[in-house]
């Protein structure tokens, strides 16, 4: 049995879960998320918990068991508290301005880089730090990855955009004589 899949999901007060044949809707104080209802698992609500069980022991059912539980748990956590990722910008002359849905960055190119986030994701700028926040964990991660891909950190001086908890392995420069 899946170690992740067998764990019950605690549904806090103020969160309602509606289960349909092809989707599960989670509504909470921060908003509403729709999670796909996978075919080989069933989701039941009992005593303030959501429980995911698989229909049989087929390989696809085992794979979907933990996935369905993780997707549903992320949706519940998202509508209650939301998710955020922090990005740091390092480099001489690198700057970032803006906030809300769009930001404008100077990343050492001959032009300004403009980035517009997806609907439901908010960008906050504080000096050289960008905070990506929203209720959908997948969207927050995707937007953060797209911003990081604009100028990945390089290994010699560490210049570029990196996650706040990312460690950039540094290489030695040219060997002197």
CATH of the domain at 131: 3.90.930.12
| Residue 176 confidence (pLDDT) | 74
Between CA 116 and CA 16, with CA 118 as vertex, the angle to 5 degrees is 150
User: Are 75 and 88 members of one domain?
Assistant: no
pTM beyond 0.85, yes or no: yes
pLDDT truncated to tens, each residue of the chain (177 aa)?
578 888 999 999 999 999 999 999 999 999 999 999 998 999 999 988 999 999 998 999 998 999 999 999 999 999 999 999 999 999 999 999 988 899 999 999 999 999 999 999 999 999 999 999 999 999 999 999 999 999 999 999 989 999 999 999 999 888 877
Q: Which sign, positive or negative, has the C-alpha torsion 55, 56, 57, 61?
A: negative
Q: Which of 80, 110, 128 is the last residue of a domain?
A: 80
Closest CA to 80 of 158, 14, 4: 14
User: Are 75 and 101 members of one domain?
Assistant: no
Domain count for the chain: 2
CB proximity list for 27: less than 8 A, separation 6 or greater? 15, 16, 17, 18, 79
For residue 62, tell me if it sits in a domain. yes
User: Are 16 and 66 members of one domain?
Assistant: yes
Residue 98: domain span: 83-163
CB proximity list for 173: less than 8 A, separation 6 or greater? 156
| Residue 3 confidence (pLDDT) | 84
Range 92-98, long-range pairs (CB < 8 A, 24+ positions): 92/159, 94/128, 94/151, 94/159, 95/128, 96/125, 96/128, 96/130, 97/125, 98/123, 98/125
| Residue 1 confidence (pLDDT) | 59
């Amino acid at each position: 049995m899946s170690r992740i899949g067998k764990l019950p999901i605690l549904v806090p007060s103020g969160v309602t879960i509606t289960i349909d044949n092809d989707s599960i809707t989670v509504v909470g104080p921060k908003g509403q998320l729709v999670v796909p209802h996978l075919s080989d698992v069933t989701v039941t609500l009992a005593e303030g918990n959501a429980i995911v069980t698989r229909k049989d022991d087929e390989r696809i059912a085992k794979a979907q068991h933990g996935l369905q539980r993780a997707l549903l748990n992320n949706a519940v956590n998202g509508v209650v508290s939301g998710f955020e990722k922090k990005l740091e910008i390092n480099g001489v002359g690198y700057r970032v301005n803006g906030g809300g849905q769009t930001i404008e960055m100077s990343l050492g190119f001959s032009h300004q880089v403009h980035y517009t986030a997806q609907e439901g994701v908010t960008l906050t700028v504080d000096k050289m730090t960008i905070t990506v926040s929203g209720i959908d964990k997948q969207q927050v991660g995707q937007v953060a990855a797209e911003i990081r891909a604009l100028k990945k950190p390089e290994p010699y001086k560490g210049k570029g955009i990196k996650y706040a908890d990312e460690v950039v392995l540094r290489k030695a420069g040219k060997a002197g004589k």
